[in-house]
Amino acid sequence: MSVKHEKAAALLVPVDIRGETLEGFHAELESRLSEGAEEIRLDCSLLEHATSTHINTLWQARNRCEEAGVALVLTSVTYGLERVLTVLDLYDLFHAERDGVEAAAEARAGVTAEPQPVYAVDVAPTVEGIGEAMRGLHDYLMALNHGEMFAFDLETVFYEVTTNIRLHGQLRDGEMIRFKVSPGNGSLHLRFEDPGPRFDPTSRRAVFDPQRAISGRQRRGFGLAMIKRLVDRISYERENDRLNILDLEKKVRGNGGQRR
């Protein structure tokens, strides 16, 4: 449990972290440190799902506060953020408070629709487009009845991959991310297609050691490690030098469990 300091400063962690937003967050952090804050409290209530970009940002803030000798506390930690930090073996390296935000996330759980054979959608590479597609994916996965944790893990993978394409895929106006998920042979198969420049995530080293990350002041490299820990297989191909195709598989192991 953290001890609240008299000179504590609260910062909201934004959902859309890129460009000016990211620079603004770090600038505000530096400002609070220069003002003599004894504790930085990062409000994570907006992070219903978390990508590697969010983890990078929190990790950099942790390292910066440690350098400054200032306590860092994550407040209003959502299930999604806790899940990703736990998957990466990072959760215990933060002081975190959940603050009862779980109730808001749980409101999304109830779906009674009949299971569909596949879920396929063209996703606009925007915050709104990804959010709309993810709501449809959530309904599809919950109708399959493999458990909430199983569904949430795949939603997290979808959010990570599509957000990475949105931020770095250089898609032009009107170009879309084609996504499909379908069951087969005791697994669920996810397929992402995008017309951006060649990008093979499987060619990158995905071994992540939190202790080395601490000692080496690691700033990035969480995304692929997170995906590989949430799925059972990942493969990539470049089709006709114009299309990135990323295939993922997650095995169904009984009931996928419920959120805590």
* Co-location of 71 and 149 in the same domain: no
User: Is 2 within the bounds of a domain?
Assistant: no
Determine the pLDDT at residue 205: 64
Determine the pLDDT at residue 223: 86
Residue 116: pLDDT band by 50, 70, 90 thresholds? confident
Determine the pLDDT at residue 105: 44
* Co-location of 136 and 161 in the same domain: yes
* Co-location of 99 and 119 in the same domain: no
Distance (Å, whole) CA 120 – CA 102? 29
The domain boundary residue, chosen from 81, 104, 127: 104
* Co-location of 121 and 164 in the same domain: yes
Angle of CA points 197, 243, 20, to nearest 5°: 40
Residue 258: pLDDT band by 50, 70, 90 thresholds? low
Distance (Å, whole) CA 242 – CA 194? 9
- List the 39-43 sheet strands across, edge first: 8-12, 39-43, 71-75, 95-96
* Co-location of 98 and 217 in the same domain: no
Determine the pLDDT at residue 104: 43
Of the listed ranges 52-61, 143-152, 153-162, 250-259, the one predicted with least confidence? 250-259
User: Is 214 within the bounds of a domain?
Assistant: yes
The domain boundary residue, chosen from 58, 85, 104: 104
* Co-location of 58 and 176 in the same domain: no
φ/ψ of residue 91, rounded to 5:
-60, -45
* Co-location of 163 and 60 in the same domain: no
| pLDDT more than 90, % of the chain | 68
* Co-location of 206 and 114 in the same domain: yes
User: Is 35 within the bounds of a domain?
Assistant: yes
Q: Cβ distance 158 to 137 under 8 Å?
A: yes
- Rg of the chain taking only CA atoms, in angstroms: 19
Does position 61 have pLDDT exceeding 90, yes or no? yes
pLDDT tens track for 199-223: 998 887 655 566 665 555 445 568 8
Residue 143, domain extent: 108-251
Structure tokens belonging to residue 243 = 């299309």
User: Is 226 within the bounds of a domain?
Assistant: yes
Give the domain CATH number at 56: 3.30.750.24
CA 34, chain centre distance (Å): 30
Does position 256 have pLDDT exceeding 60, yes or no? no
Q: Cβ distance 51 to 223 under 8 Å?
A: yes
List residues bridging with 250 in a β-sheet. Answer: 188
Distance (Å, whole) CA 71 – CA 97? 14
Residue 240: pLDDT band by 50, 70, 90 thresholds? very high
Distance (Å, whole) CA 12 – CA 6? 19
pLDDT tens track for 65-104: 999 999 999 999 999 999 999 999 999 999 999 755 444 4
* Co-location of 155 and 221 in the same domain: yes
CA 160, chain centre distance (Å): 5
Strands (E) in the chain, as ranges, are: 8-12, 39-43, 71-75, 95-96, 119-123, 177-184, 187-194, 233-239, 243-251
Determine the pLDDT at residue 255: 56
pLDDT tens track for 123-138: 999 999 999 999 999 9
φ/ψ of residue 182, rounded to 5:
-150, 150
Give the domain CATH number at 211: 3.30.565.10
Average pLDDT over residues 236-255: 91
Does position 232 have pLDDT exceeding 70, yes or no? yes
User: Is 1 within the bounds of a domain?
Assistant: no
φ/ψ of residue 191, rounded to 5:
-135, 125
Q: How many domains does the chain have?
A: 2
* Co-location of 25 and 143 in the same domain: no
Report the mean per-residue pLDDT for the chain: 86
User: Is 258 within the bounds of a domain?
Assistant: no
Q: Cβ distance 211 to 259 under 8 Å?
A: no
User: Is 33 within the bounds of a domain?
Assistant: yes
Report CA torsion sign: 211, 248, 160, 100.
negative
* Co-location of 73 and 177 in the same domain: no
* Co-location of 158 and 214 in the same domain: yes
Distance (Å, whole) CA 212 – CA 86? 17
The domain boundary residue, chosen from 83, 104, 125: 104
User: Is 130 within the bounds of a domain?
Assistant: yes
Structure tokens belonging to residue 75 = 């407040």
